[in-house]
Chain A
Amino acid sequence: MSGTRAVIAGIGHTEFSQNSGRSTLQLAAEASRAAIIDAGFSPDEVDGTVTFSMDTNDELALIRTIGVPMLRFCARTRGGGGGASATIQLAAAAVESGQADAVLVYRAFNERSAHRFGQPVQANPDPVWNWASPFSLNTPAKVYSLTFQRYMYEFGLTNEDFGRYTVVARDWASTNPNAQFFERPITLQDHQDSRWIVEPILRKLDCCLESDGGVALLITSAERAADHGADAVPILASSAIQLEGGHEMFAYYHEDLCEYPEGRVLGELLYRQAGITAEDIDVAMIYENFSPIVFLQLESFGFCGRGEASDFIKDGHIGRGGSLPVNTNGGLLGEGYIHGMNNIVEGVRQLRGASPNQISGVEHVLVSAGRSGIILGR
C-alpha cells in the first residue's frame, strides 16, 4: 500500500420515497451537499465526481447547482446497479493516484414516480435484447427468473425459501426510520399472500422497492479526512469484475447456471486485497434487485456452500443475532432501491457505530453489488 489510503469521509442521502415531488438534479444536489458537509468539507474542495453511466444528472449541472468551482476528475461506471460498488473503486483509484483530492460519488433518480425499471421494455434498448424481448423476456423480473428457475430446480427450492430472505429484510427495515417499510415487518405468510410476478419463482415481495431518492458519498485520503475531522471509514478493498461471457442481466451463457461467477472472482480478489477471509466479514450488504440474488451471492462469496444459502438463511444466520447480519438497513427490498448506493451508506454507518440496527464490534463490512464490491474496515 502506498502512502495514500482512500476513505469514505462523508455520507448523504435524501428520504427514500415513492414520489419525491422534485427533480432528480435536486435529489442529487441535496444528497451531495449532505455528504460534503458530513465529511467536514466545503463544496469548493471537491475536485472529482463519479456516478453511473445510467445516471441522468450531468456533472456540470450538478457542480453548478452545489457550488463546486472545478473538477479535474470525472468518471462513470458502466451499466446499472451491479456497478454500485465500482463507483467507490473509481473514486478511491482517483484519490490514491493523486488524480483528485476529494471525489463526490452520487446517484439520484425518480425511479418510482418517473421511469420505472421494472416495466416491460418498449423497444430493444440494446442489441442484446434481441435475444430476449422477441421471446417475451421483457422485464427484469422475467430476465432474472430464467436463471433463478434452474437454481430452484437443482436445489429443490420453492418461493417460500426466497420469502425467508424477505422476512429478514423487512425485519431490519422495521426498525430503520429511513426505510420505506419502517415499522412494517411481515410474516412468511404475508410474503406468500403477495401476488405472483413470475409464478412460481417471484412474488411481489421478492422484488426491490422501486424508489425515488438520492445518495452521495465523499471519498478522500485518510490524511485529508483527518484534517477535516471526518468520521472516516477506510476502503480496504475494491474491485469490479466483468467476465468475457458475462452480460449485464442475461446470465445465461456461463457454464454453471447455479453459480454467480462474477461474485466468486470478486470475493477472491476482495479478500486478498483486504488480507482477510469470508469469516472475517461482520456485516454483509448484498445488492438484491430480487431476493434469490442474495442466495447466489452468499454462496459465491463463500459464506456458505453451493446450494446451502436456503439453509443458511433458515438457520437464522443473516438476521438479528445471526453470525452474518445481512442488509441491516432492510436492503433494497426494505429500505429503498437507490441502485445499491444506500447499501454503501449503511456499511459506513455500521463501521461508525451509527446504524439504527447497530451490530456490536463491527470491523469488516462487505458491500457487494454482485459484480462490484468493496470491503470497508476499521
Chain B
Amino acid sequence: MTAVRPPIFDFDDAFFWEGAKDHKLLIQRCGECGILRHPPTPMCANCGSMDNQTAESEGKGTILTWILSQHPTEPDAEPRIVILVQLDEGTRLVSNLIDVAPTHAQTLNDKRVEVCFVDYDGTVLPQFRLAEVQS
C-alpha cells in the first residue's frame, strides 16, 4: 500500500479533510457572495465575509498538468502520478491519478477525470480516475 504523508490541518482547512473522510470533495464557498475558493482562506477576499460555507463538488474535472512522482529514499517511494485538476466548478486542486500505469510515457494533459476516495492507512485523500467518457 502506498504510504502518504498526512496533512497537518488547522481551523481553515479541517473541513476539507473531514469531508474527504465522508467521501465528499468540498470546496470553500462564501456564505455571503457565493464565490468558491481553494486553497481555503479564513475570509472572503471578494466581500470580506467570514461566513465560510462549503459546496460539494461533483468531482469532475480536467487534468491541466501532471508529473510522475518518484523518490527512492522516501517512505512514499512508490511512484504516484500527481495531477493538477481544473474542477468543473472552477477551482483547482492538486491530487493523484490512480488506476493508470505509473509511467511518464503517456499523455494525460486535458484528460477528463472523476474523483474517488482512498484510505491510505487512516488518511483519506480525494484521488481521481480517468473518466469513462472523454469528451
Contact = CB atoms under 8 A, between A and B. Distances in A.
Interface stretch (B28-36, B48-56, B61-69): B61-69
A146 B79 CA distance: 15
Question: From DSSP, what is the main secondary structure of chain B's interface residues?
Answer: loop
Contacts of B112: none
Contact of A147 (B7, B65, B70, B96): B65
Interface residues of A, number: 31
A252 B69 contact: no
Contacts of B10: 127
A145 B104 CA distance: 13
A252 B64 CA distance: 9
A153 B84 CA distance: 14
A139 B82 CA distance: 13
Nearest to B120: A134
B114 interface: no
Contacts of B123: 134
A199 B7 contact: no
B115 to A, nearest CB: 13
Interface string B3-18: 0111111101100000
Nearest to B6: A134
Interface in A241-256: 244, 250, 252-253
B46 to A, nearest CB: 11
B94 interface: yes
Nearest to A253: B92
Interface string B61-92: 00011111111011010001010100000001
Nearest to A122: B5
Interface of A: 120, 123-124, 127-128, 130-139, 142, 145-147, 149-150, 153, 198-201, 244, 250, 252-253, 257
Interface of B: 4-10, 12-13, 39, 45, 64-71, 73-74, 76, 80, 82, 84, 92-96, 104, 107, 109, 123, 125
